[in-house]
Every structure is written in structure tokens, then in C-alpha cells.
Amino acid sequence: METTLNAPAGLGSKMMAALSYLGILSLVPFLVNRDNAYVRFHARQGIMLWMWEVLAIYSLVVPGVGAIFFNLSGLLCFAFSIIGLVSVFMGRAWRLPLIGKWAESI
């Protein structure tokens, strides 16, 4: 679902928003660009993706099911990161499935 946030005109804001989908680096735009709603939107989603990735790593301690969850989570997080990056460079604020609503609560 797409939210109504306009992308800032500068390339710097888009680069900061794109940084949001690169794992732990999502903390950088979240902490640096607090006044930019577009960057903050993508940073929140990036933080949720990163938390999901960390949870997937910890799931490896569960025999059998943990490895399956880890592999599926890895594929989903990779796909969501690509979708997030594409939406950033298209200038859209598209809420990712499964994590978009949770990200708004950060």
C-alpha cells in the first residue's frame, strides 16, 4: 500500500532513504534525518527488516525448523529490500507487506 509522502527533490535524501534497506545501516538515516518524513518512513521499514534478519539468525538455534525459517526469511528480506530500493528511486513511499504497519509504530 502506498502512502502519500512526496520524495524530496535532492538526490541526498533519496540516497539516505536507500541506505535504509541495507541492514544495520538503516540506523544512520533514522538517527540523522529525523526531520525528513520521506527518509524516516523508509528508515523505519529498514529497521524492521533488519530486526527480522536478526530474529532469523537467532532462529538457527532451533533444530530443523530454525534453518527453514532462516532460509525463507533471508529470501523475503532480500526481496523486500529490493522492493524498498526500487520504491525509493521511483520516489514513492510504498508500505512493505507484513512489516509496513509495524514500522509505523517505531
Report the chain's mean pLDDT, rounded to a whole number. 88
Is 28 within a domain?
yes
Cell of 77: 528480506
Task: Give the per-residue pLDDT at 99.
Answer: 86
Query: Could you tell me the residue range of the domain that residue 91 belongs to?
Result: 11-101
Could you tell me if residue 5 is inside a domain?
no
The contacts of residue 57 (CB under 8 Å, 6+ apart) are: 70
Any domain includes 88? yes
| Count of the separate structural domains present in the chain | 1
Question: Is 36 domain-assigned?
Answer: yes
Q: Give mean pLDDT, residues 36-52.
A: 93
Q: What is the spatial distance between Cα 90 and Cα 53, in angstroms, rounded to a whole number?
A: 25
Domain membership flag for residue 4: no
Asked if 17 and 42 count as a contact pair (C-beta separation under 8 A), the reply is yes
> Is the whole model's pTM more than 0.95, yes or no?
no
